[in-house]
Amino acid sequence: MFHNTVQLYSGRKSGLVCIICPVVRVVSARPKSGNRFFLDIARPGWLTETVRFRHLALWILGTFLLLLSFYASAQQNAYEYVTGHPRIIMSRYDELALRFAMLEDPLAARLKAELKKDADKLLSAKDLKYSRDKNNSIGEISEEYLKRILTLSMAYRIFEDEKYSDKAIDQMMDACAFPDWNPGYFLDAATMTAAMAIGYDWNFYHLDIRQNETIRNRILEFGINPGLEVYTNPDGKPLVWFKMDNHWNQVCASGLILGALAVGDDFPDVKNQAIYHAVRNLLPTIELNEPDGVWSQGPASWVLANNYLAMAMSAMTSSLGHDFGLSSRPGMDQAASWYTKMTGPSGQTFNFGLSSASQVTIAPALAWYAGIYNDYLPSELFRKQLEKQLSGNVLYRRDALFYLSLPWIQNLNESEKHKSGLSIQEGTIDMMVFQGNGENNEYLYLASKGGSGKLGNQQLDAGTFVVDALGERWVLDPQVENPANTTGQDAWENPANTNANHSTLVIAGANQNPDGECRIVKSNRNAPQPFGIYDLSPAYPEATKVLRGFKLLSDDCIMVRDEITFSDSPKKVRWAIITDATVSVSEMKLI
């Protein structure tokens, strides 16, 4: 039996020292998100579903209530939306509420001023040219169009100046002149469809007839129709995004939903089919959040996936009055909470998977989730990140959806100090987060993960962890440019993707077993010294048993303990942490 125990202390003087379903019935209900339905989705064409009410015991009142129930059934057509524009994400009522928020909330007022600066710069922006990169993508172009059209259209609505609308329409007409929006790499087409849908809806009454017809028809021809072709005939398609377990599904489905909602007046059947397929095929991906909101691709992928997903749910709610219950699915109310816990007091995230070690992308989805779930902590984190970004902190970056921060910004007037102890998140991967008490974001923080190489966009990093103390990141998760494509034969030939490049164990010089699924096997969050233990044995066939445990000994000390059992002769074990600090080992015990 090999025991290795390491204790991590934080101290002001020394910093951190290491001692080593296709059809369902509509059911009337009101989930806590406030949406009207909790159904998965009803197939379009069956739009007169009989609606069951919880209180039909009143049927004895006779014909009057029977007629009333038929009337209610007719009104609850799941695909029937509000008439007129704008209806996507920010209705006229939402716009009015935002105007009050910008008067009352200093941060919203700062964001408004920043919007004007950026929109004014875009007035002189040059047209973009269609070109594909080495990956056969026009991703940078589609992202830029989304940023420009959203920013200019938002400025038009906030400042009521037609010059912003004129420029937004000019950008949309340029994109309509492209030969296509790259449907073979549908992430591009979906991004462009989302951009054009927002621009079409928000500038609708400023479009002339030619512009209206051109943009509307391009959304159908270049966006919705190619998407429906993949949904209905996926065989032989090179990229079937709705079968992926990463952010592609959310981005592609959301682009189609926005496009359908924008042009549905003229193409109602296509609108219904697009929304039906998009929502239906989002469900398996959303199930990956169960039960505790964990997203196995990492925090950066979470931002991309959930910014788009929140955009789609918001657009359906503002247009249809409901989001087909997506926001009420198990685990969704924990998604923003999980992201919050993945963010250390240093401001950096636990950057495993697709995440960057050097930058954090602002996530307006945090604000939207905070609003629908009345959750203070995501709102607080978002406002802190937004404040730092507007103040020029280079750790935080904007993406194309940055100005959705305006209609979604929340100022929840609660005060909640961070909770010390252990937090456990279970899901596609299991995770543990330890926090000690401390002031001014200087508390001790350790986040760790189990894992499985069978999931997409992973490294062989089961058991790895990061540590913050005194407001700085001490134990790192290294930046990986291209996480492994786990379907490839050479997935683990790059050492950067293996346990040799992470704060975990290497036994007998071998990579972790990609098929090994490592879970939490024991924990106690309520103990005076809370702890949790991963069983890493499935990742290490070279040993009989491999356990890695973490225990919060005090507010400034966390113990890391490994127990390794060999059935025959012992093998060489390498224990490592990744850090850019100077390390001194004062004690090492081998039992």
CB neighbours of residue 61 within 10 Å? 10
CB neighbours of residue 352 within 10 Å? 30
pTM: 0.87
Give the whole-angstrom CA distance, residue 349 versus residue 360.
7
Give the whole-angstrom CA distance, residue 326 versus residue 222.
26
Do the beta carbons of residue 268 and residue 260 sit within 8 Å?
no
Give the whole-angstrom CA distance, residue 309 versus residue 307.
6
Q: In what order do the strands lie in the sheet with 421-425?
A: 421-425, 431-435, 445-449, 465-469, 472-475
List the pLDDT tens digit at each of the 591 positions of the chain: 555 666 666 654 344 434 333 233 333 333 333 333 333 345 555 333 333 444 444 444 444 444 444 444 434 578 887 778 999 999 999 999 999 999 999 999 999 999 999 999 999 999 999 999 988 999 999 999 999 999 999 999 999 999 999 999 999 999 999 999 999 999 999 999 999 999 999 999 999 999 999 999 999 999 999 999 999 999 988 889 999 888 999 999 999 999 999 999 999 999 999 999 999 999 999 999 999 999 999 999 999 999 999 999 999 999 999 999 999 999 999 999 999 999 999 999 999 987 887 789 999 999 999 999 999 999 999 999 999 999 999 999 999 999 999 999 988 766 556 678 999 999 999 999 999 998 778 899 999 999 988 887 888 999 999 999 999 999 999 876 555 555 555 778 888 889 999 999 999 999 999 999 999 999 999 999 999 999 999 999 999 999 999 999 999 999 999 999 999 888 999 999 999 988 787 776 665
